[in-house]
Structure 1
């Protein structure tokens, strides 16, 4: 790889920022933008080059979130010392990049926010044997900003190009400036990994990070949501079960069509329009297409579909209406604990205070020390024994990593002994 640019020795692809001489703008990859790999022969050559490289491999993927229903990768970027940067079009290559996966067996993969990309990489046959996540590592270290751009600027003194992360990467052909942006995303990722790893080591958090990386690497796909339609934006405005049934039917009809067309659901019908239709209760198809959004040309073509969904919802008996609130999986919302179980509320308050102190001492955010949901579950239903070892075991059973259980169990064990404060009596005059 090219050496890190510096203010005193700027490269041909970087320029010094006038208002901050300590930071350089990286505008082009050091070796230029490589040709896009679009066929089996070029893919085999790229795999051989990557196999002949040394050290970790930087990996990134671009999806078309907000444009497509699927979360597939439309571009895969890789960079390894001795091999340079490789840009692969997985669609043109038939969606099968196993030859690249084989070339990287036993190699550490460096990704930023790996959990966002591992699923789409697995879909094309790429699964790491070892992982380093620079975003997750940055959280453990305690950097105030852990996006790829801010981290690269803070640790390496280099400002990356911005502007195309949310683009429609399913577009073909891909614009040249997008490929430049994509190549720069992996240009310094291994150097960034080394800088973050050095801070992890200085803070004694290397073992924490290794456990976190492995948990991300081996994490199974999330289970399907029981009622995904309840994530409709603005649903809090809809109170009546009959209206919720309309939201559910419209959401399901939209989701089915979006999946068939591989179009992001919101591009077919915005969430706001679904909620509006439920609240306004149109009397017929013509009434529906007179409403905002539904009166547009694209929506008028789908009006029969949307009205059929509304009609199905209205034909349901009361027994078929959804509940006003989703079924609880775990403890009730924490703000209700004071009324439902004051002792549990006292335990949770003590646990949160203890973890906040630990976060300040370690420089690691509370949610990375132990997930808030796990803390709530522990405080709502503590183990029979409140000894630190028993609490550590309960934490592991709930999904905490060994380092998290070891670090937080003593504090949480003490917090679980908390009791509600006695109400103060009337003041004597």
Structure 2
């Protein structure tokens, strides 16, 4: 997939202008109810779409709450809001943003924590998703702003601990810059999507993203422990589960990111080593540290709990999957299904290339796998369209792919 856009010659493009501070300066953070009412009135009196962003503390805190909310609107300027200082009581702010289009970058990351504050958009425009649909290979905010607007954003604090107070001035400058150019970027991307005949596709995608429900909780989230593949016995997996659940409880109570309570690598190491007392546990590298020594007894209790479980309560090393197996196992499990998947992927790749789209945006890979593993029976274009629609595909995706996908599935079935 080639780089899309305005077609500007790379060599002729002038050096981007580095932005280190917003053009109008960085505003004071809203931390009082008086300032909240004033800022909300100003936003309500502004015009046009509202640029919205949040800052979280994912690598430091257990919660995914917003520790700072940034918005910008023509005629109102930029507002930086500290919801923590306001005890999340931001009703005037909610009212000021209601009914307007919000412009976000990678909206799926921000919408959940905004919803926790009662902030729910009537419409959205996602500049990252728009960039993907327009065919840009690199869709980070800074990259798109530089490529399309000619500015380079001062970056570097996205992974910082935004729960820290007071927030350093350079962090606030960074946060304000993240909404400084979102609306101009939105306008350029909208024009580009319209030029390519993809604007209606984008609007469907934005609406699907806006109304998407939160993902259901994982049945066994502990199985996502990094390095768990090294643990091969049911008893060892029980130790991973027990340590993971103990860590999760501690992290939740303390509002600390789980990896800061105990790294995944240490959970796996302890599960493999299976120490039977505190002295043996403290011989393992991470557990020798002062912070771990203080709670070593907690980890030992978790390990002992796993060691005493009856066999009937041990986790299954190969649990059933909600859906098809990994594609690399299809050839052994069901060669015909493997051939269907190969044919479908080849057909979809041609369509994606013809429309200058990432193949994963043309049709969700998991939906393709599910459809190929268990195609509709009887197989027809209408049946495939229904299966795709049931699986969450948008109408533009169905119209582009249903004929080729049905043909691929039928072709394999007839051989």
- Tell whether 2:404 aligns with 1:411: yes
Match of 2:321 among 309, 328, 332: 328
CA contact (8 A) 1:63 1:72 kept: yes
Match of 1:261 among 246, 254, 257: 254
- Tell whether 2:337 aligns with 1:344: yes
Question: What whole-Å deviation, never above 9, does each CA across 1:24-68 have from its counterpart, x for those lacking one?
Answer: 101110100001100111111111000000000000000001100
Aligned to 1:356: 349
Aligned to 2:108: 115
Q: How many residues align?
A: 404
What is the CA-CA distance between 1:386 and the residue it aligns to?
2.8
What is the CA-CA distance between 1:420 and the residue it aligns to?
8.0
The whole-number CA distance in structure 1 between the counterparts of 2:213 and 2:109 is 13
- Tell whether 2:307 aligns with 1:314: yes
The whole-number CA distance in structure 1 between the counterparts of 2:409 and 2:155 is 47
Query: Which sections of structure 1, spanning at least 5 residues, go unmatched?
Result: 1-18, 423-429
Aligned to 2:141: 148
The whole-number CA distance in structure 2 between the counterparts of 1:386 and 1:198 is 39
What is the CA-CA distance between 1:105 and the residue it aligns to?
1.8
State the Cα RMSD in Å. Answer: 1.4
- Tell whether 2:251 aligns with 1:270: no
Match of 1:41 among 19, 34, 39: 34
The whole-number CA distance in structure 1 between the counterparts of 2:364 and 2:53 is 26
TM-score, normalised with respect to structure 2: 0.95
The whole-number CA distance in structure 2 between the counterparts of 1:369 and 1:386 is 21
Mapping for residues 44-55 of structure 1, pairs under 5 Å: 44-55=37-48
Question: What whole-Å deviation, never above 9, does each CA across 1:146-170 have from its counterpart, x for those lacking one?
Answer: 0101010111010001110000000
The whole-number CA distance in structure 2 between the counterparts of 1:20 and 1:293 is 51
Aligned to 2:367: 374
Question: What whole-Å deviation, never above 9, does each CA across 1:52-90 have from its counterpart, x for those lacking one?
Answer: 000000000000011000000000000000000000001
CA contact (8 A) 1:370 1:400 kept: yes
Match of 2:93 among 100, 103, 110: 100
Higher mean alpha-carbon deviation, 403-412 vs 183-192, is at: 403-412
CA contact (8 A) 2:351 2:400 kept: no
Question: What whole-Å deviation, never above 9, does each CA across 1:373-408 have from its counterpart, x for those lacking one?
Answer: 100111111112332222111100111111111111
Aligned to 1:172: 165
What is the CA-CA distance between 1:95 and the residue it aligns to?
1.2
Match of 1:209 among 179, 202, 205: 202
The whole-number CA distance in structure 2 between the counterparts of 1:67 and 1:20 is 40
Question: What whole-Å deviation, never above 9, does each CA across 1:259-299 have from its counterpart, x for those lacking one?
Answer: 00000000010000000001111131111011100000000
The whole-number CA distance in structure 2 between the counterparts of 1:412 and 1:420 is 12
Aligned to 1:282: 275
CA contact (8 A) 1:354 1:411 kept: yes
The whole-number CA distance in structure 1 between the counterparts of 2:284 and 2:406 is 57
What is the CA-CA distance between 1:418 and the residue it aligns to?
3.0
CA contact (8 A) 1:61 1:75 kept: yes
CA contact (8 A) 2:324 2:370 kept: yes
What is the CA-CA distance between 1:327 and the residue it aligns to?
2.0
Aligned to 2:129: 136
Query: Which sections of structure 2, spanning at least 5 residues, go unmatched?
Result: 1-11
SS, match of residue 401 in structure 2: helix
The whole-number CA distance in structure 2 between the counterparts of 1:318 and 1:405 is 48
Aligned to 1:10: none
CA contact (8 A) 2:226 2:264 kept: yes
